[in-house]
Amino acid sequence: MFESPDNPPEFVSSCWLLRSRRSPAKARQVLLRLLDSTPSGELFADSGLLVVSELVTNAVVHGTPIGNRLWLSLSLIPSRLRIEVHDARRDRAPLLRPASAEDESGRGLLLVKLLSERWGCCPRVPIGKIVWSEIGSAAASSAPVERVA
């Protein structure tokens, strides 16, 4: 790939994930491997780990019928981390809704919205949808991240 100020290097990673409660943890591992292998990747760790967890959790709970898998796609340039989660249900778009203090769930998309420069949902051909988030380096912390295993 030709590298220039207008065409910075891009680092990518992707994988299939099972419809499993273990998939958010697997997605975090994939993201950490990408960030660890990328210059300044640590800038995106805090926001990226939370966003990937929320998007994959939503896909497992709401977007992936039994017997189907979901696709995780990550791309990173120095100024942006893009997270995409592809699932098989086009009829269930993500719904940003207020959660009361008594609700035990329902805040994930609000967190995605707050941590992302942009986020959204689009159809996936031939079936399903893609829920995506872009986290900019300005939104990412400039302090080094200490990770706990």
Per-residue model confidence as pLDDT tens digits over 113-124: 999 999 999 999
pLDDT at 142: 44
pTM of the model: 0.84
Structure tokens belonging to residue 86: 């592809």
CB-CB neighbours of 85 under 10 Å: 30
Q: What average pLDDT does the segment 28-48 reach? A: 94
Across the range 49-76, mean pLDDT stands at: 94
Of 76, 91, 77, 75, nearest to 124 by C-alpha is 91
